[in-house]
Amino acid sequence: MYAKTPSYLVGREKIREFSRAVFSTSPLNFDVEAARAAGYADVVAPPTFAIVLQQFTLQQLLDDDDAGIELSHVVHGQQQFTSARPIVAGDELTAVQTIASVKSLGGNSMITSQSVIEDAAGAHVATTTSTLVVRGDA
Amino acid sequence: MTLTKQALEALNVGDVVAEREFSFTRDSLVRYAGASGDFNTIHYRDDIAVSVGLDGVLAHGMLTMGAAVQPVIDWLGDPALVDDYQVRFTRPVFVPADGEAVVSVAAKVGQVDAEAGTARIDLLVTAAETTVLGKAQVRVHAV
């Protein structure tokens, strides 16, 4: 298990920027009034936004000399997001990563890691599960 | 309009609930890199992509995954109705420097649990007539 990531404040403009990048057209991702009318405190993040938190845990893995992973050799194998509640602007989130499995397959390594995301109150927000394929020397 | 329990009960397995086409360009990849914090060079440097044995620059799997769920959200009416979303990245989406990659999404009902008010939506995601995501499943609830 790796150390808890530093607290990440989810910004309204970050949600809008991410939403534009994934071609969202949902008003709840962009419009504060629409989000509040739907019962949310602020704009709501798309379902894959938790990848921003997972990115910090991936960095821990890349910085780990014992793992010996070079980013350009990494391709994404599988990804899952399980949501306990929606992420909204203003949330302060942390992630704790656990390596679930490491397998070798034909010169490549498959690393499955899980990141549990919590809010400032320590309540569960989401869990991301990611399988990375680290390609052997081509 | 958000998905109601009545609307969910009326769904049949196999119904196509949403379809959309996306055009990915290098611009989309750079935009996604900045928005997500994923600056893996294989998503914008041809020379590096080739040096690690790829056929060229490919889209972030997470860009394809993030975009592919959007037609489902438009159908649901609320991104927070998605409880679980998983995919396997089965084929890369290559994005040429001077052109586009067209990614098509068709979202079909895979399973309905009327009592629980939940459903599984299966995504068929293709680029260049090849399926690029496997086991792409979105678990949703109605309100």
> How many angstroms separate the CA atoms of B116 and B109, rounded?
16
| pLDDT attached to residue A135 | 86
Please answer whether residues B3 and B76 qualify as being in contact, where contact means their C-beta atoms are separated by less than 8 angstroms: yes
| pLDDT attached to residue A39 | 96
Residues in chain B: 143
Q: What is the pLDDT of residues A76-106, one digit of tens each?
A: 999 999 999 999 999 999 999 999 999 998 8
pLDDT at A71 over 80: yes
Rg, C-alpha atoms of chain A: 16
Contact B78 A38 (CB under 8 A): yes
CB-CB neighbors (< 8 A) of B67 in chain A? 22-23
Banded model confidence at residue A67, pLDDT cuts 50, 70, 90:
confident
| pLDDT attached to residue A137 | 66
Banded model confidence at residue A24, pLDDT cuts 50, 70, 90:
very high
Nearest to A23 among B42, B62, B67 (CB): B67
| pLDDT attached to residue A68 | 86
CB-CB neighbors (< 8 A) of B61 in chain A? 75-76, 79
Domain range for B28: 5-141
> How many angstroms separate the CA atoms of B53 and B49, rounded?
7
Give the percent of chain A with pLDDT over 70: 99
Give the percent of chain B with pLDDT over 90: 98
Would you call B70 an interface residue with chain A, using a CB distance cutoff of 8 Å? yes
| pLDDT attached to residue A105 | 87
pLDDT at A138 over 60: no
Nearest to A7 by CA among A96, A115, A93, A122: A93
pLDDT at A35 over 80: yes
Give bridge partners of residue A112 from the DSSP assignment: A101, A131
The CATH number covering residue B12 comes to: 3.10.129.10
Q: What is the mean pLDDT of residues A46-70?
A: 93
Question: Chains A, B: CB contacts under 8 A, how many?
Answer: 123
pLDDT averaged over 10-residue windows placed end to end, chain B, 143 residues: 93 98 98 96 95 94 98 97 98 97 98 97 97 98 96
Q: How many domains is chain B partitioned into structurally?
A: 1
DSSP-assigned letters across all residues of chain B: ----HHHHHT--TT-EEEEEEEEE-HHHHHHHHHHHT---GGGT-HHHHHHTT-SS-B--HHHHHHHHTHHHHHHHS-GGGEEEEEEEE-S--B--TTS-EEEEEEEEEEEEETTTTEEEEEEEEEETTEE-EEEEEEEEE--
CB-CB neighbors (< 8 A) of B31 in chain A? 20-21
Q: What is the pLDDT of residues B32-44, one digit of tens each?
A: 999 999 999 999 9
